[in-house]
């Protein structure tokens, strides 16, 4: 019961704070749109010959990029907020109070993550139509995308736990989360690991974003059924990847928590 | 209610700190205390004495290297969440509340974090808003409150789940006189009306004297004394006479010291910036006249004579100095 109450508390607070910082959220949507427009411009620039095949190919690339970009937006929320929020709360002087909740800090952060997902869903709900309008692509999104996205987010929040744990010890992890976001953008959201072989392909597949993006692309762009993706092993890869990242994330966070409490630096900034 | 047994904490012992040869700092050295239910207990000590470390160990925010601490019978290490359910804390130097949230939203949020929900929480919040004088400020963001009211809100939030124990780490730090007095009165009211056990860490002696039933003086991580607050501060209420005379040659000063010892054994002679200060902790007229006759006989050049009370801070410093003298020179390094 306490766990659910804490999850609700964090979600509720996240929503209130997002409402109070509406301008920041709106500006963030504008920035995201600009970045996507830039990426689209680059993609179109690489196919300057306007043959019918090239135009069709460009539309395909746009859809491909749009899906990667949207899932990456969720990843950005997960990675950026988990680490940064810990730092921000330490600066604000509210973090130690959170640590004294009726449940473990892992659950408090899970609540934070849940609140974050709710906000990111609202955010993406606004961003996606804007991006569809700009890119001119047509997307039909089947319901099966949502559970797949949920599992992908589990892995991403596992990565978020790692950054939150690092923030407990090292306080400023802004650059680390920035680096992770870039890696996820270029090696997870936009690449096609099936085409990129070798080390890059392997690295890309090992990221928490890639298996989810692959499955979602198959569902949306190829019209594949979830059942068929289970048989190809894509869903299994996604589940294993997400579970592994979550397990590692929790283990790293618990270790960092113990070290921080031993050092007496929880809440210190 | 709260039992602390042989708690030891040395900072800088972890692998990374050892690798970079960080200095070991002994924050707490086998500290043992027992705080009874319903009492206001003061933790007194200079900066860096170890008060905050002890408070944070009780809050489960710092892991001790040795010893145990139990809160309402729950071990803070083994039964952390059950122990934490028994206490609310206002920590030093922290905001403790969210400034962007309103008073009521803060109470609701922290109530949920403490596992309270529904009508029970609503009733509790309504009561707290009334008791703490927030009824008309419930929808006000915490950022709009004055510093004193923000601290009041922090205490209110700490009590949202009606814990039997309230931990306050330097609750009046940074407050103006009026706000500090308001917070002091509030704590006194909470302890008296609600029967809460209050553990108060401070270096404001006046605050401790006003609120605490028992106090422990901590310095360099050790408990120097743990006693009845009245007994500790009794010395402070002793009135005394203080005579200031012009500087004396060494032999005259020594003669005065010997003669004064026979007339007023409790008198203390000190020198201060070309002056001799004689303090007589005895307010009987005869003792005063004896001292004055002696000073006249010795041909002392009078500068002033005053009557006053010993400073509370002096009493505290005396305890700390005595502890350090017994301990010998050295810092808090382990």
Residue B64, phi-psi category: left (phi > 0), alpha (psi -120 to 50), beta (remainder):
beta
Angle at A196 between CA A190 and CA A198, to 5 degrees: 135
pLDDT computed for residue B155 by the predictor:
93
pLDDT in tens, B95-138: 789 988 999 999 999 999 998 999 999 999 999 999 999 989 99
- Stretch A181-187: mean pLDDT, rounded? 86
Chain B residues contacting A, CB < 8 Å? 9, 11, 13-14, 16-17, 27, 53, 56, 59-63, 81, 84-85, 87, 89, 91, 93-101, 105, 108-110, 112-117, 157, 161
Tell me, yes or no, whether B299 lies in a domain: yes
Tell me, yes or no, whether B54 lies in a domain: yes
- CA–CA separation, A218 vs B283, rounded Å? 95
How many domains, chain B? 2
Tell me, yes or no, whether B109 lies in a domain: no
Whether A50 contacts chain B with CB within 8 A: no
Tell me, yes or no, whether B290 lies in a domain: yes
Query: Is the same domain home to B71 and B176?
Result: yes
pLDDT computed for residue A247 by the predictor:
97
pLDDT in tens, A105-146: 999 998 888 888 888 888 888 888 888 888 888 888 889 999
Residues B84, A261: C-beta atoms closer than 8 Å: no
ipTM value for the complex: 0.84
- The C-alpha of A94 sits at a distance from chain B's nearest C-alpha, in angstroms, of 5
Query: Is the same domain home to B63 and B183?
Result: yes
Query: Is the same domain home to B227 and B183?
Result: yes
Q: Helix (H, G, I), strand (E, B), or coil: what is residue B309?
A: strand
Question: Which domain does B41 fall in, by range?
Answer: 2-86+163-234
- CA–CA separation, A36 vs A134, rounded Å? 9
Query: Is the same domain home to B224 and B243?
Result: no
Query: Is the same domain home to B272 and B288?
Result: yes
Query: Is the same domain home to B243 and B230?
Result: no
- Cα distances (Å, whole numbers) of residue B321 to B54, B270, B328: 21, 17, 10
Tell me, yes or no, whether A52 lies in a domain: yes
Beta strand extents in B220-299 (DSSP E only):
222-228, 239-246, 268-271, 275-280
How many domains, chain A? 1
Question: Which domain does A144 fall in, by range?
Answer: 2-263
Query: Is the same domain home to B187 and B278?
Result: no
On the question of pLDDT at A48 being above 60, the answer is: no
Residues B95, A100: C-beta atoms closer than 8 Å: no
On the question of pLDDT at A92 being above 50, the answer is: yes
Query: Is the same domain home to B225 and B257?
Result: no
Pairing of strands B165-169, B87-90: parallel
Query: Is the same domain home to B304 and B219?
Result: no
Whether A102 contacts chain B with CB within 8 A: yes
Query: Is the same domain home to B29 and B61?
Result: yes
Query: Is the same domain home to B269 and B170?
Result: no
What is the CATH classification number for the domain harbouring B249?
Answer: 3.30.70.600
pLDDT computed for residue B333 by the predictor:
47
For B160, which residue in chain A has the nearest alpha carbon?
A101
- Cα distances (Å, whole numbers) of residue B241 to A36, B307, B310: 82, 4, 10
Tell me, yes or no, whether A268 lies in a domain: no
Confidence of residue A165 (pLDDT cuts 50, 70, 90): very high
Burial of B258 (0-12, 13-18, 19+ CB in 10 A): exposed
What is the CATH classification number for the domain harbouring B189?
Answer: 3.40.50.300
SS3 letters for A189-221?
HCCCCCCCCHHHHHHHHHCCCHHHHHHHHHHHC
Tell me, yes or no, whether A53 lies in a domain: yes
Q: φ, ψ for residue B166 (rounded to 5)?
A: -120, 125
pLDDT in tens, A203-247: 888 899 889 988 998 898 888 888 888 888 889 999 999 999 999
Tell me, yes or no, whether A269 lies in a domain: no
Tell me, yes or no, whether A98 lies in a domain: yes
Query: Is the same domain home to B195 and B252?
Result: no
Quickly count helices (H) and strands (E) in chain A.
Answer: 11, 0
pLDDT averaged over consecutive 10-residue blocks of chain B (334 residues)? 93 78 85 92 88 93 94 93 92 83 94 91 94 91 91 93 93 85 89 91 85 89 86 67 86 86 80 80 76 87 78 68 65 48
């Amino acid at each position: 019961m306490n766990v659910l109450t804490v999850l609700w508390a964090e979600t509720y607070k996240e929503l209130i704070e997002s409402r109070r910082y509406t301008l920041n959220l709106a500006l963030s949507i504008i920035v995201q749109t600009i970045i996507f427009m830039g990426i689209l411009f680059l993609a179109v620039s690489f196919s300057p010959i306007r043959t019918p095949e090239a135009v069709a190919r460009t539309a395909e690339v746009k859809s491909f990029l749009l899906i990667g970009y949207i899932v990456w937006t969720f990843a950005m929320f997960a990675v950026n907020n988990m680490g940064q929020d810990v730092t921000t709360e330490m600066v604000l002087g509210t973090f130690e109070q959170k640590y004294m909740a009726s449940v473990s800090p892992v659950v408090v952060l899970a609540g934070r993550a849940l609140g974050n997902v709710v906000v990111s869903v609202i955010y993406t709900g606004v961003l996606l139509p804007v991006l569809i309008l700009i890119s001119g692509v047509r997307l039909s999104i089947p319901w099966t995308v949502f559970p797949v996205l949920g599992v992908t987010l589990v892995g991403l929040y596992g990565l978020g736990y790692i950054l939150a744990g690092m923030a407990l010890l090292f306080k400023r992890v802004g650059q680390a989360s920035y680096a992770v976001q870039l890696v996820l953008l270029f090696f997870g959201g936009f690449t096609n690991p099936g085409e990129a072989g070798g080390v890059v392909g392997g690295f890309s597949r090992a990221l928490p974003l890639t298996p989810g993006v692959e499955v979602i692309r198959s569902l949306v762009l190829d019209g594949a059924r979830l059942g068929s993706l289970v048989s190809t092993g894509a869903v299994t890869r996604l589940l294993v990847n997400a579970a592994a990242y979550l397990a590692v994330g929790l283990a790293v966070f618990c270790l960092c928590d113990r070290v921080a409490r031993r050092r007496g630096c929880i809440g210190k900034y | 209610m709260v039992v602390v047994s042989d708690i030891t904490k040395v900072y800088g012992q972890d692998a990374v700190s050892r690798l970079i040869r960080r200095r070991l700092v002994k924050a707490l050295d086998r500290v043992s205390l027992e705080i009874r239910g319903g009492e206001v207990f003061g933790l007194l000590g200079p900066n860096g004495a170890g008060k905050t470390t002890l408070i944070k160990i009780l809050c489960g925010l710092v892991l001790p290297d040795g010893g145990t601490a139990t809160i309402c019978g729950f071990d803070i290490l083994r039964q952390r969440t059950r122990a934490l359910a028994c206490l609310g804390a206002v920590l030093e130097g922290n905001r403790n509340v969210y400034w962007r949230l309103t008073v009521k939203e803060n109470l609701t949020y922290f109530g949920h974090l403490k596992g309270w929900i529904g009508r029970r929480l609503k009733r509790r919040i309504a009561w707290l808003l009334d008791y703490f004088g927030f009824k008309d400020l419930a929808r006000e963001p915490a950022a709009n409150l004055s510093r004193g009211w923000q601290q009041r809100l922090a205490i209110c939030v700490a009590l949202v789940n009606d814990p039997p124990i309230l931990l306050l780490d330097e609750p009046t730090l940074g407050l103006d006189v009026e706000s500090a007095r308001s917070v002091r009165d509030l704590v006194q009211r909470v302890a008296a009306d609600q029967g809460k056990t209050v553990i108060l860490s401070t270096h404001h002696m006046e605050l401790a004297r006003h609120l605490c039933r028992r106090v422990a003086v901590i310095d360099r991580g050790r408990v120097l004394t743990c006693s009845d607050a009245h007994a500790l501060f009794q010395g402070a209420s002793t009135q005394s006479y203080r005579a200031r005379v012009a500087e004396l040659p060494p032999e005259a000063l020594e003669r005065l010291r010997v003669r004064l010892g026979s007339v007023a054994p409790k008198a203390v002679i000190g020198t201060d910036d070309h002056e001799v200060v004689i303090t007589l902790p005895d307010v009987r007229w005869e003792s005063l006249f004896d001292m004055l006759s002696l000073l006249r006989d010795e041909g002392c050049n009078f500068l002033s004579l005053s009557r006053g009370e010993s400073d509370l801070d002096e009493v505290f410093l005396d305890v700390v100095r005595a502890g350090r003298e017994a301990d010998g020179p050295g810092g808090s390094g382990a």
